[in-house]
A and B are shown apart, each in its own frame.
Chain A
Amino acid sequence: MAKQYDLNDDSVVVVIGSGAGGGTLGTELALKGIDTVILEAGGRHEIDDFENDEWGNFGKISWLDKRTTSGSWRVANDFSGLPAWIVKAVGGSTVHWAGASLRFQDYEFKAKTTYGDIDGASLLDWPLTLAELEPYYDKAEDRMGVTRTHGIEGLPGNNNFKVMKAGADKLGYKNCHTGRMAINSASRDGRPACSQVGFCFQGCKFGAKWSTLYAEIPKGEQTGKLEVRPNSQVLMIEHDDSGKVNAVVYADKDGNQQRQKARAVCVAGNSIESPRLLLNSASSLFPDGLANSSGQVGKNYMRHMTGSVYAVFDKPVRMYRGTTMAGIITDESVNDPARGFVGGYEMETLALGVPFMAAFLNPGAWGREFTAAMDMYENMAGMWLVGEDMPQESNAITLHDSEKDQYGLAVPNVHFDDHANDIAMRNHAYQQGSAVYNAVGATQTYPTPPYPSTHNLGTNRMSEKPEQGVVNKWGQSHDIANLFVSDGSQFTTGGAENPTLTIVTLALRQADYIAEQMSQKAI
């Protein structure tokens, strides 16, 4: 009963992207009775398509279109063509995400005020507060079934968590548990409890993990107010003479160009594609790209301070069994400049299978030091370290001057340099992560460098003042009233927390705003 809209129907809201931001927003708009078309660049892979196979599923769902990298970050050297590890499919990166669902803390919305002037950082306070977002955080957590909220029980701890917990206790950390996870600990919302399969990153075969693919979009489609068009790569957003956006040009599954008219357009293609699209949509009226009078589109790219620690023990751990990220220590997620850096970081259990461990443990390495680690795979425990990185104007998504994609459009270049604060935080996190494992008898620890970015943020940031950012507190562009940004690119700063819950929260809040603006005929 999913609706099909005419290309010339100019009453529809067009949402570009179907992940945490776009999939949630599109569904919520439809539930409100608003005619909505979601254009998704990737295909529609339902649960049956997912494979418990790291490389197999990677090849199937990842965003592998050409991208270039620059800057001093190690990813540019190790994975020069793959700056980001995200999904190109209906559901976006909610297909492969781990499920960690943490609220931002109050001080993180006031980064500039809290941290002060940090050399080289383009910090700003968000134009909204935790208090304003709390009702929507509540709604998002309930909708996603986040454990340890709304009376939902925590997940049981797996072997990897047991090691983390024992180490955390020995070290004196006070806040270690199996996380706030959008993974069912008991059946809920028509989806079963987690079966501890262990392939969270390859798409949950049981559907126990929340994803817009099966937990949101079908509900939107059932209203008859939502059409999702997969294999639809948006090339450009068009506008009328007054500067209002009015259509979206995309390449369909056969590569033919189509033009969908629109009453409003919401961009949710993740923090690389979203600014790329705005920049590629430059016109005579907007020569620097849409919504870019500030010059901030594509700037302030953030990817979180990340790293991992894997540790070897004299007995088996088998960390790969069970929920990948159901384990967290939050004690370091505070702002304590006495540690030598501002902002905080989370320590979260993480396991990779043998194929990805080989690729990511120490990219480029060979010889006995490397194989000694791989030989101890069964006895390894692992954690991911994820914290707030400093926004820097020079960290940016730009259009490549010569490389073009299959549609003749400039490919994005992703430039990133670590800020000194990021490096100090990573070193502290490596030290603390190793200490957790050493406390329970690790014989080796491996400080593992960042993977290609999974948390891409900030390239269309929210700001109070139009000259400092791209969108206002509703994700509405400062320049064009009926153009919205609905993904993590609207983040003013990154916080320490995994971003999905906040992206969903902002999308739910934005849906209310769009509905109100439409009913007032403001857009």
Chain B
Amino acid sequence: MQDFAEAFTVAFGLVGALDADLVEIVVLSLRVSLAAMVVSCVIGLPLGGWLAISRFRGRGVMLVVVNALMGLPPVVVGLMVYLNFSRAGPFGWLGLLYTPTAMIVAQTILITPIIAALSRQVLEDLNTEYAEQLRSLNVTGFRVVRTLVWDARFPLLTVALAGFGRAVAEVGAVIIVGGNIDHLTRVMTTAIALETSKGDLPMALALGIVLLLIALGVNALVMSLRATAARYAYA
């Protein structure tokens, strides 16, 4: 028990002193996950918008597939990306394996279905409310999507943050495609796994504390966005 207490004390010390190794790992984690979130939004939001307002044969099947992909096992995604980026794989010539870019790709694959499925739900609900009025005002095509995305901006930001939360806490995929290489691809989750296996509890705990703080920060941001949206009624 005393070891734990000592580990916590050292961990808080590392966080408080902004230990250089710790900061490097945290910065890389944020860089990778934020990049994955941005790319996923670029792909997932239009996909969600399209699924929300279009009606076509096979749409139901597509919705089931997109929803099912929200539960993609990270290790399976990691394995698929690994196979594609390994030297014998179709994208081996890019030389991306064990780089932050490969980690961004893996996280993007993981969270794009989350962003597409959740944004589809948000935009479809809004479209149900707006559709008849927009048709009455002679608003059609891309302007409908633009209107829906703008008016649903607060819920969509929440969706993006949910994607970020999933990405930053993910370990299975990034450890396979990133390799957990010190000063290159070591992020918070992979470092926690490594330091725990080495018995270096203070560093693992320090990273865990930062990860929890980020999770808390993301949730606080989501709540404040909701409060802002309610206060201004999306105006």
Partners in one complex: no
Which residues of B come within 8 Å of A, CB atoms? none
Interface residues of A (CB under 8 A from B): none
